[in-house]
Structure 1
Amino acid sequence: MADVIVFDLFGVIARTQSPEAVRRIEKTAGVFGKSAAAFWKAYWECRPPYDAGQDAAAYWAAVADRLGIAFPDVPALIEADLDSWTDVDEAMVELVVELADRGRTLGLLSNIIGELVPRFEARHGGWLSRFAALTYSCRIGVAKPDPRAYRICAERLGVAPGEVLYFDDREDNVVAARETGMRAEVFRSPAQVRELLLP
């Protein structure tokens, strides 16, 4: 039984962008149809430095440069993007609280942009307080799947990587976690986690 459990945030406890949020971002960016596909490609390809601490203006300038366009309202685009990452899966939140109540040591390891952290913590501070360590990419200067992110997370929890069971919805992040010595599982559902941790 794993006593130290680390979760990814987005796609595990927090929800990924909803279709409505995606449409709002596209409308704010002024992209439609084929240009929307190119926009999202640039959005994700430019994201790693943003996750690692780059400021919002520089990130959106990089996306615009990649596309060869100028966005009509960057502050509104930043706002739409931040709002798109604040919803959570209540079943996973309940599971986090239950695990904490049972004495499990919990950690969070998330690729997250700096501007989002205070907004997310203000909305979800209650259950976030149940984690022994919150390791955010924007604050440590490296993002998953960089192996340093996993090592820093383990260090903050006061354990060796081999003492951690890690859950992430991305296969590449799980592979990287295993390469650092963590036990790691690709997240599928709250039921999967419950079955593994609360038999």
Structure 2
Amino acid sequence: MSTGRRRIVLFDLFGVIARHQRPGTPKKMAARCHTSTEDFTTAYWTHRPPYDAGLQTPSAYWTDVLHALSRPADADTIEELRLTDIDSWSRVDDRMVTYVRKLRGRARVALLSNIPADHADAFLAAQPWLHDLDHLAFSGRMGAAKPDPAAFQSCVVALRAAPADFLFVDDREENVRAARAVGMDGHVFRSQDDLAPVIDAWLPTR
């Protein structure tokens, strides 16, 4: 840790504090597009990176998905898919939310998430406690998504810290490796029970 600085725990959102996509949603959206779940899922994720990184509008993203499936991209279909998608990523792990909020008494706490801007707006509206954290970094608002080093560096700059001040927690190993490559400590999240002793050991003793 840099001398005189307060340590920062930087959390991923989905798969850590929030839950992954609601089960059954890809099948539901695939049915709306009159295609198989497999084909829909391929198109959904293939075209996702620019949308996550704020380089593409929701309409452009869903138009690309629908065209990849040889389906018409009318405004009503796009909006229905967009809203269904946002809802499917809206669930949180209440136990982790409680843990993260209490952790602020011991460390600075920040969030770094790959999430489109319109999803971020909806998530913040539903989870206003997020505004109490020390920094929120959403890929769709800053033009960089993990594992791009720029995503991590933006948090370093925003918090006026050094990379060594950070412990980054993410459920994806490639993102943790990327954080370590810029000088942060990192932990691959499996459960809160696994995480808590790691943070306890990393934070200075009182």
Contact 1:15 1:85 in 2 (8 A): yes
Which residue does the alignment assign to 1:44? 45
2: CA distance between counterparts of 1:175 and 1:40? Answer: 26
CA offsets, 1:124-150, max 9 Å, x none? 012x12310001101111111111000
RMSD: 1.7
- 1:19 is matched by which residue type in structure 2? P
Contact 2:17 2:96 in 1 (8 A): yes
Which residue does the alignment assign to 1:84? 88
Contact 2:19 2:91 in 1 (8 A): yes
Q: Secondary structure at the match of 2:44?
A: helix
CA offsets, 1:155-178, max 9 Å, x none? 112111121000111111111111
TM-score by length of 1: 0.91
- 1:60 is matched by which residue type in structure 2? W
Which residue does the alignment assign to 1:58? 60
2: CA distance between counterparts of 1:65 and 1:20? Answer: 22
1: CA distance between counterparts of 2:23 and 2:120? Answer: 22
Which residue does the alignment assign to 2:131? 129
Q: 2:95 matched to 1:94?
A: no
Q: How does 1:25-36 map to 2 (within 5 A)?
A: 25-31=29-35, 35-36=36-37
Which residue does the alignment assign to 1:22? 26
Which residue does the alignment assign to 2:122? 119
Q: Secondary structure at the match of 1:19?
A: coil
Q: How does 1:126-165 map to 2 (within 5 A)?
A: 126=129, 128-165=130-167
- 1:47 is matched by which residue type in structure 2? R
TM-score by length of 2: 0.88
CA offsets, 1:3-36, max 9 Å, x none? 21000011111111121333332233332xxx22
Identical amino acids, percent of aligned pairs: 41
Unaligned runs of 5+ in 2: 202-206
Match of 1:12 among 9, 16, 26: 16
CA offsets, 1:69-109, max 9 Å, x none? 33572211111001011100011101111101x23101100
2: CA distance between counterparts of 1:26 and 1:163? Answer: 44
Aligned-pair distance for 1:52?
A: 1.1
- 1:162 is matched by which residue type in structure 2? A
Unaligned runs of 5+ in 1: none
Q: Secondary structure at the match of 1:69?
A: coil
